[in-house]
Amino acid sequence: MVYKKGFSTYIMGDCPSVLSYASVASKKESQGPLAKYFDILCEDTTFGEQTWEKAESRMQKDAANKALEKAKLSQKDIDLVLAGDLLNQCTGSTFGLRDFGIPYLGIYGACSTMAESIAVSSLLLEGGVIKKALAVTSSHFCSAERQYRFPLEYGGVRPPSSQWTVTGAGAVILAANNQVSPFVKAVTIGTIEDLGVKDANNMGAAMAPAAAKTLCNFFHDTMTSPSAYDMIITGDLGVIGSKLLNELMEREGYSIINNHADCGVLIYDIEKQDVHSGGSGCGCCASVLSSYILPAIRKGKLKNVLFVATGALLSTTSIQQGEAIPGIAHLVYFSGNDNKELI
Amino acid sequence: MVYKKGFSTYIMGDCPSVLSYASVASKKESQGPLAKYFDILCEDTTFGEQTWEKAESRMQKDAANKALEKAKLSQKDIDLVLAGDLLNQCTGSTFGLRDFGIPYLGIYGACSTMAESIAVSSLLLEGGVIKKALAVTSSHFCSAERQYRFPLEYGGVRPPSSQWTVTGAGAVILAANNQVSPFVKAVTIGTIEDLGVKDANNMGAAMAPAAAKTLCNFFHDTMTSPSAYDMIITGDLGVIGSKLLNELMEREGYSIINNHADCGVLIYDIEKQDVHSGGSGCGCCASVLSSYILPAIRKGKLKNVLFVATGALLSTTSIQQGEAIPGIAHLVYFSGNDNKELI
């Protein structure tokens, strides 16, 4: 890797490899267009547990174990696990991965967690510090609703700009120089961006500026343009945030309209499933990435993909105190080849 | 760095250097034994802000800016900032560091955050990925009380095993091969440990097993013994947790009684300040490290110090649902020299 001061993009020398991936999803996701791609699909949203929070932990545990099983690895083979989620104090991850015995780095990136954990894993693999890392995250509609909005029993009306928290989890195992596609060719670490959006029912608008900033940084740092990539897939901007992102990118001179997709738009049938602007939550892009995107790269159906997961860095307290919603977006560039050229 | 599978300790080849450090504390800390060491001591616990949460963010901002000022660096000189705190969704860090424009990695390690952020920074510096990193964290008595326990106005009685959340922050700037003491010679990444302690008013007992596990891993991996170090300083086990740690270590064949200290015990006058078992919170070990420990190493008063910050990975929801309190501890080995021998 060549270090360049002031650049937030890190271009890999020996590309870390995505060894394995696994996804878990639930009832609503089983009715959506990606249903057939998930590894574990459990229509019982409790996953056999006593509370929604324990169900969320269970999803992380199941996703991580499935990824290990697919890679024919045991927990002892993993040097580091990087995980986080949206529950207060990230307890979805703590309790989900408590029994794994793997050295544990808790991270917090809201819905950008999957990209943050893969990006940090990649940097540590590229630096020769570790050989194998496990990145995990999750979200659960019911645990998110009662923590961020209203108890489910209240039956609150959702505005059209709101998004539906995905009940799902994703786990990705990364390895150094493993010669199996997909490869991580570059990562861009995001900065906190805040354009003053204060509507907690319009997260897409709050996060779009962060996605635009990170994408512009990536194109600048790599001297490439959007057309070089098969797909630029954002985390969970939804319909409204995606439209905004496209406008912001046009303003910066980058047209992504032809190859942009959004995990929050892909995971549900927006018209039929009553999800308003689309899916959201850490589990949204995590489950879409590990069920639909990474396998497509491995099979050669997609070649060069920019995965840009966005997070809204709010809390109920920050909203009550009148703060705006800062956003952040981390980018991981996955490719089907590890040749020395970037594309 | 030599990679060893199954080892959670990473021994640095070219030791990252602690370039600068700064601490912020408030009224209660100004009445304690470390008062004279803090860079910024503000007796007004609001720090001039409208809410306790905004005050906490302000402390992170002030600590980070002070560390930059002491190192004669600007925000643009830093490649990555790693930060987190105990507020729901880590908003202390988000809003404190929102305007810095530095690529941002949110982390969550509860009270182990300072060690986690320094450890990850060190691994990225050692891997040649970045050149300069900023690690920041904070806690505030008033924001923690109302989030975790009771509104201050309620005047709840605190049991003798409880700890007092430090109102303080710490910031540390690390650089690659900078040839200035203190140096980071090794780090050990902790695993989640859970011996079934369920008393949220006895965090020291919940965290002591994690500290013991990480210390034992470090001594095993480095083939050194406790007597090789001037000081083994834990994050915030307090009086009760410290006693337990000593017992657990004795059982494992390591006596640390002669060189163990605890930030939660050092920061207050335990007898006179009515803090029961001692200080706690992310800001406890962060402010003690960056005011008292790191300067002592730079001045040569301390030579080899093991900094073991512990975190209790609970939330109010996990406690209400009857879960035990898992703990985690990350270790950073600071030394006054960067010679090739470990000691």
**ipTM attached to this prediction:** 0.97
Give one word for B50, left, alpha or beta, with left for phi > 0 and alpha for psi -120 to 50. Answer: alpha
Percentage, residues of chain B above pLDDT 70: 100
Asked if B87 lies within 8 A of A315 by C-beta distance, the reply is yes
Cα distance from A147 to chain B (closest Cα, Å)?
10
State the pLDDT at residue A179.
87
State the pLDDT at residue A156.
84
Asked if B129 lies within 8 A of A127 by C-beta distance, the reply is yes
The one-letter code for the residue type at B150 is F
State the pLDDT at residue B156.
84
| Residue A311 tokens, joined | 């997070």
Please report which confidence band the pLDDT of residue A155 belongs to, taking 50, 70 and 90 as the band edges.
confident
Is the pLDDT score of B173 beyond 90?
yes
Sort out which chain A residues have CB atoms less than 8 A from B6's CB and list them: 76
Of the candidates A54, A101, A317, the beta carbon closest to that of B53 is on A317
State the pLDDT at residue B123.
98
Tokens 């616990």, located at residue: B45
Residue B251: how many other CB atoms lie within 10 Å: 9
Is the pLDDT score of A293 beyond 90?
yes
Q: Please give the DSSP secondary-structure letter assigned to residue A198.
A: -
Percentage, residues of chain A above pLDDT 70: 100
Sort out which chain A residues have CB atoms less than 8 A from B104's CB and list them: 189-192, 328
Of the candidates B3, B106, B315, the beta carbon closest to that of A108 is on B106
CB A327 within 8 A of CB A194: yes
Please report which confidence band the pLDDT of residue B71 belongs to, taking 50, 70 and 90 as the band edges.
very high
Mean pLDDT of A3-12: 96
pLDDT by residue (tens digit) across A93-144? 999 999 999 999 999 999 999 999 999 999 999 999 999 999 999 999 999 9
CA–CA distance, B123 with B126 (Å, rounded to integer): 5
Handedness of CA A61, A66, A68, A73 (dihedral sign): positive
Is the pLDDT score of A40 beyond 90?
yes
State the pLDDT at residue B179.
87
pLDDT by residue (tens digit) across A173-191? 999 988 899 999 999 999 9
CA–CA distance, A170 with A166 (Å, rounded to integer): 11
Per the prediction, chain A carries an average pLDDT of 97
Among B73, B94, B332, the strongest candidate for a mutation testing the A interface, having the largest count of A CBs within 10 A, is B94
Q: Using alpha carbons, list the distances in angstroms from residue B320 to A93, A244, A337, B324.
A: 17, 41, 49, 10
Among A78, A86, A93, A104, the strongest candidate for a mutation testing the B interface, having the largest count of B CBs within 10 A, is A104
CA–CA distance, B325 with A313 (Å, rounded to integer): 26
State the pLDDT at residue B2.
86
Burial B192-231 (b: 16+ CB within 10 A, else e): bbbeebeebebbbbbbbbbbbbbbbbbbebbebebeebbb
CA angle A217, A186, A330 (to 5 degrees): 55
| Residue B54 tokens, joined | 């905004």
Whether a cis peptide bond, with omega within 30° of 0, leads into A33 is: no
Of the candidates B3, B190, B318, the beta carbon closest to that of A103 is on B190
pLDDT by residue (tens digit) across A48-90? 999 999 999 999 999 999 999 999 999 999 999 999 999 999 9
Q: Which residues have CB under 8 Å from A241's CB, separation 6+?
A: A203, A204, A205, A207, A208, A211, A234, A262, A264, A277, A310
Q: Which residues have CB under 8 Å from A179's CB, separation 6+?
A: A17, A338
Please report which confidence band the pLDDT of residue A276 belongs to, taking 50, 70 and 90 as the band edges.
very high
Please report which confidence band the pLDDT of residue A14 belongs to, taking 50, 70 and 90 as the band edges.
very high
Q: Is-above-0.80 flag for pTM?
A: yes
Is the pLDDT score of B177 beyond 90?
no
Least confident of A146-155, A233-242, B32-41, B312-321: A146-155
**DSSP three-state, residue B342:** coil
| Residue B304 tokens, joined | 């080899």
Per the prediction, chain B carries an average pLDDT of 97
Radius of gyration of chain B (CA): 18
CA–CA distance, B289 with B302 (Å, rounded to integer): 12
Please report which confidence band the pLDDT of residue B155 belongs to, taking 50, 70 and 90 as the band edges.
confident
Cα distance from A54 to chain B (closest Cα, Å)?
9
| Residue A143 tokens, joined | 């645990």
Sort out which chain B residues have CB atoms less than 8 A from A76's CB and list them: 6
CA–CA distance, A207 with A338 (Å, rounded to integer): 31
Cα distance from B301 to chain A (closest Cα, Å)?
31
Please report which confidence band the pLDDT of residue B301 belongs to, taking 50, 70 and 90 as the band edges.
very high
As a dihedral over the C-alpha atoms of residue A186, residue A191, residue A192, residue A196, rounded to 10 degrees, the angle is -100
Mean pLDDT of B16-31: 98
CB B259 within 8 A of CB B231: yes
Backbone φ and ψ of B298, nearest 5°: -60, -40
Mean pLDDT of A3-26: 96
A31 touches chain B (CB under 8 A): no
Please name which of B137, B138, B110 lies closest in space to residue B211, comparing C-alpha atoms: B110
Radius of gyration of chain A (CA): 18
37-56 in chain A: CB under 8 A from chain B: 50-51, 53-54
Please name which of A318, A314, A329 lies closest in space to residue A191, comparing C-alpha atoms: A329
CB B307 within 8 A of CB B326: no
Please report which confidence band the pLDDT of residue A166 belongs to, taking 50, 70 and 90 as the band edges.
very high
98-157 in chain A: CB under 8 A from chain B: 98, 100-110, 116, 120, 123-124, 126-131, 147
| Residue B200 tokens, joined | 């949220």
Residue A48: how many other CB atoms lie within 10 Å: 9
Length of chain B: 343
Least confident of A30-44, A109-123, B141-155: B141-155
State the pLDDT at residue A150.
87
Please report which confidence band the pLDDT of residue B152 belongs to, taking 50, 70 and 90 as the band edges.
confident
